[in-house]
Amino acid sequence: MRELRFQFNEMVIDYGTIQKDADGNRSFSFTNVGDAPIVISDVKASCGCTVPTKPKGPIMPGESAQIGVKYKTNKVGAFTKTITVISNADVPRTTLKIKGVVVEAATKLGE
């Protein structure tokens, strides 16, 4: 029986404390640890402030790939968002999370 399984290096990305309008790009790395190609059919975010991207094409056994995530850092405050990965794996839905706190950018002296 074929095994369709992938393993993420981390299931939660903690942005920590970042400044407003800072770079919100991060990525979840994973490896196909099964014995058949994995196809990610969709990646959905819990809100419009988070834009995920998925690999194109199948991920072959032993290969690694990434799910990209861009969080819009234009609002100050704490955030926790979920990203749902839908694939042909034995467990068809995988939930990933991003979290952190966006703070006002520090003002430079003399401005």
pLDDT recorded at residue 111: 44
* Token pair for 38: 């994995």
SS3 content of the chain, % helix, strand, coil (to 5): 0, 55, 45
pLDDT recorded at residue 110: 46
Q: Cα-Cα-Cα-Cα dihedral of 81, 79, 15, 104, to 10°? A: 150
pLDDT recorded at residue 4: 92
Given a cut of 50, the residues of the chain with pLDDT beneath it are 108-111
Over residues 20-29, the pLDDT tens digits come to 999 999 999 9
